[in-house]
Homo-oligomer: A and B are copies of this chain.
Amino acid sequence: MDSLTAVLDALEPLFPALEADYQDLHAHPELAFQEKRTAALVAERLAAQGGWEVTTGVGRTGVVAVLRNGEGPTVMLRADMDALPVKEATGLPYASTVTATDDSGTEVPVMHACGHDLHVAALLGACALLSSRTEHWKGTVVAVFQPGEESGYGARAMVDDGLFERFPKPDVILGQHVGPGPVGLIATCPGTVMGATDSITVKLFGRGGHGSKPESAVDPVLMAASLVLRLQTIVSRETPAQEPVVVTVGKLHAGTTAAVIPDTAELGINVRTSSAPVRDKVLAAIERLAKAESDAAGATAEPEITPVYHLPMTVNDTAAAERVADAHRKAFGDAAVMTMGPTTASEDFGILATAAQVPSVYWFWGGLDPEVFTAAFAAGRLDEDIPQNHAPTFAPQSGPALTVGVRSMVAAALSWLAAAGEATA
């Protein structure tokens, strides 16, 4: 029996408790940098596993755990912990009914609509396996439970709080994300795996007034509406069709009651690009269009354009990605590992590798019931029937998705650690 099989075999008896933790995490989602309950659960479980040096409060609410197991490479395994301001509509028995106060002071529903609860549970499971079978590998594992990925600031906060000074410097950083594919499929992507993201707030300034006298006011709702339509033309007219670009207005807030023309309107704009010149062009176009809309409306002030966060492109080291893909082929079979092209999604995972100046690998694994997936595919109804990440109905299949998540992380980690183990064996 090789090391991989030996370590993976440890999962079965641990699984029921792990799945219960997953469902508990799902039922108690927390917004970016509010992951106190999640961090406490993580710390408690790692303490119970034994062998880990656990540090909490890294980058405000992050957790770092180190397991030293002799000479060998240092591998950093990363899971993100935060949830989203989305009202859950999965109908799951362990669905969230939680609300929280967001940064603007508004009370919002909260949901693990992007699977970070599964990432946490899968990494906890991987930690359990690695810590319980230390005889099969050598080296150091640094498990990173990162806060605030959705805010775009979590990785940065951990780096700024000394992630690579206070803890062993890794030789490689590994991360994974569950997606709306069937359980059993792992997607690898050598090179650029995800594009850059920018999140921007645009505030438009009209002049409030009575709803019956628009001629004495400057209507910011109209300004905002026209800007939303105009922003569509960045993708349709200003960027090359060959280059993947997305401009989404995910948030538009103006006014409090129908009869009052408000003073201002605010748009939350999300931009996905995959090259620096096109990113520059898109950001400049947003500014130009917001300015022109303000001029068109006779706005009372220039628009306020505030960058909220910038996520760099996520680029997989080619050799390291191939090593991980090999491990996954060994763990799940050749057919399970497909190669994908870059997506328009983004991550702050790239900030870690950039800061540490080491190779990193990021992959996706499918979380859905394969039968459901296949039926939707056959009916040509993937979009209608399969909820995407961030949708209120996004619901990975608890047991199988978690199993694959644990195994894929362990397999990837061992492709560095087990070799060292064997070398010293």
Does A199 have its Cβ within 8 Å of any Cβ on chain B?
Answer: yes
Chain B interface: which of A125-133, A256-264, A397-405, A416-424? Answer: A256-264
Does A108 have its Cβ within 8 Å of any Cβ on chain B?
Answer: yes
Interface of A, secondary structure class, is mixed
Does A226 have its Cβ within 8 Å of any Cβ on chain B?
Answer: yes
Interfacial chain B residues near A252, Cβ < 8 Å: 221, 224-225, 252-255, 265
CB < 8 Å neighbour of A85 from B212, B257, B269: B257
Q: How far is the CB of A250 from chain B (nearest CB, A)?
A: 4
Cα-based distance from A373 to B229 in the complex (angstroms): 35
Q: Report A67-103 residues with CB < 8 Å from chain B CB.
A: 84-86, 89, 102
Interfacial chain B residues near A150, Cβ < 8 Å: 257, 259
Does A383 have its Cβ within 8 Å of any Cβ on chain B?
Answer: yes
Q: Report A292-321 residues with CB < 8 Å from chain B CB.
A: 292-293, 295-296, 298, 308
Q: Is the CB of B217 within 8 A of A388?
A: yes
Q: Is the CB of A260 within 8 A of B256?
A: no
Interfacial chain B residues near A200, Cβ < 8 Å: 258
Number of chain A residues whose Cβ lies closer than 8 Å to a Cβ of chain B: 99
Interfacial chain B residues near A89, Cβ < 8 Å: 263
Does A211 have its Cβ within 8 Å of any Cβ on chain B?
Answer: yes
Cα-based distance from A383 to B236 in the complex (angstroms): 16
Q: Is the CB of B102 within 8 A of A256?
A: yes
Does A13 have its Cβ within 8 Å of any Cβ on chain B?
Answer: no
The proximity string for A residues 213-232 relative to B, scoring 1 for CB distances below 8 Å and 0 otherwise, is 11111010110111111111
Q: Is the CB of B242 within 8 A of A344?
A: yes
Q: Is the CB of A258 within 8 A of B249?
A: yes
Q: How far is the CB of A258 from chain B (nearest CB, A)?
A: 3
Q: How far is the CB of A197 from chain B (nearest CB, A)?
A: 7
Chain B interface: which of A20-28, A50-58, A185-193, A202-210? Answer: A202-210
Q: Is the CB of A257 within 8 A of B247?
A: no
Q: Report A252-290 residues with CB < 8 Å from chain B CB.
A: 252-263, 265, 268-270, 272, 288-289
Q: Is the CB of A208 within 8 A of B86?
A: yes
Q: Is the CB of B345 within 8 A of A210?
A: yes
Interfacial chain B residues near A244, Cβ < 8 Å: 240-242
Interfacial chain B residues near A146, Cβ < 8 Å: none
Question: Which of A89, A225, A228 has the most chain B CB within a 10 Å cutoff?
Answer: A225
Q: Could you list 24 examples of A-B contacts with CB < 8 Å?
A: A107-B107, A113-B260, A114-B210, A197-B259, A209-B388, A210-B390, A211-B246, A212-B270, A213-B345, A214-B237, A221-B250, A222-B229, A226-B230, A232-B232, A233-B236, A250-B256, A250-B258, A250-B262, A251-B256, A252-B252, A258-B270, A259-B270, A261-B390, A292-B293
What are the 5 closest A-B residue pairs judged by CB atoms, nearest first?
A258-B268, A292-B296, A225-B228, A241-B244, A251-B255
